[in-house]
Amino acid sequence: MRTAPTILHLDMDAFFASVEQASKPSLRGKAVVVGGLGPRGVVATCSYEARVFGVHSAMPMAQARRLAPNAAYLVPRGGLYRAISEQVMGLLRALSPLVEPLSLDEAFVDLEAGGAAWDGHSARLAGERLRADIRAVTGLTGSVGLAASKMLAKIASEQAKPDGLVLIPPGTERALLGPMSVRTLPGVGPATGDHLRRAGIHTVEELAEAGEDELVRLLGKAHGHALYAMALARDERPVVAEREAKSVSVEDTYDVDIHDRLRIGLEVQRLADRCVRRLRGAGLSGRTIVLKVRRYDFSTLTRSETLRGPTDDPAVVREAALRLLDAVDTTGGVRLLGVGVSGLADFTQEDLFAQAAGEEVAGAEDETAEQAVREPAGPAERRWSPGHDVRHAEYGHGWVQGSGLGRVTVRFETPWSEPGRVRTFRTDDPDLERAEPLPLVEGAEGVTGAAGGSEVSEVSEVRGASAG
């Protein structure tokens, strides 16, 4: 391990909810919950004000509403979160070439590799400067942990929350870890924690005292060796700038079980097309097509098919996913569908086009076809999602508080205004339109690619994802 605390871990504070509070003055200091708002929705993250009521990430949204009925419940704005994440990651990359993102709101940085720090004093200065830069650029807060290893830097950032900085001086790691719960260590989840508790091991110090042989006997060779090393504060993992993706996938959870076999097939095709768009966006292709089906009784089936070579052709992926669906019994209905591609490569094999039944299946990436699947036939009514940005010809910029019964309620305010007034309109009001989010800091450049649409739905479908 290092002799200086030059590994930094940044974790943005309640990221999704903090973005919403920063962009909506009327929600600052109030309970905000972000996630899927349907009957089967899950909390993606919530503000610290909502956590007081017991709300937490991965909680069913229905339970969150019971605990905090007066909170603001908003649909995620994935494009906006990604744009702000890129601003934050840009600040990290200015510190060092070795930045290891873990999610949109979390990353490790090797300060020594970038010459940003070489001892405790310089590391603390770099961490404080980073926090100030993040606030200046985004208006948000992040918590920073500094230590001689990745494991300890992450533990330090947890202790720093919210909006703080904690540095663990080298040589003090064992004393710090000793009284902590074994659940503090990476890789110790509820099942492993219960197993250790039944063996009389509750703290990290007791874990170290049990000895390596006993931990191997209890947990197996690989896990036992790893946990013993962590209990002794040993962690030699380097900060890795690029983490190779193993798969690309998308999935949808449906508010009501789908029973119609035709619609299930159409949903699978739609998911396949979205998966390919992600694949192409990353400049990748893949050989193995994976179908995930969660049935009405919560049983989850996964089926896969490996092609002759990598592809990024939507027709190929659709046809493979439909072949996999043919082998799945969906009689009782399905509550979740997913399509993924693994065995990734950065090239395609052109002759795989022949695998698609009917090369001329036009509209592989035709958004109108996707809309036909998503929306029922009949007069189209504009959908106004809670939390999304709108603009009115007379009243200016605002955001949707709610909609229903042919009406939409809008609060008119900007990130740098006072809390605004609320007005109600018909959902088909010609003066009301969707709008791009405004920058969180006045005078800053706008965030691009952050409006609603498919980009938003991609994030809202990450069920149980935590955003700090």
Catalytic residues: 106
Q: Which residues 6+ apart lie within 8 Å of 16 measured at CB? A: 34, 44, 45, 76, 81, 467
Closest CA to 270 of 194, 372, 402, 378: 372
Write down the H helix ranges in 211-260: 212-219, 221-231
How far apart CA 406 and CA 354 sit, in angstroms, is 48
CA distance 1 to 262: 57
CA count, 13 A, side-chain hemisphere, 440: 24
**Sign of the torsion angle spanned by Cα atoms 321, 322, 324, 330:** positive
Residue with tokens 């009917």: 358
CA nearest to 130, candidates 158, 150, 111, 149:
111
Task: Could you list the beta-strand ranges (E) of 235-361.
Answer: 247-258, 285-295, 300-311, 334-345
CA distance 260 to 379: 22
Q: Which of 463, 34, 467 is nearest to 251 (CA)?
A: 463
Paired tokens of 6: 């030059």
Q: Which residues pair with 397 in a beta bridge?
A: 391
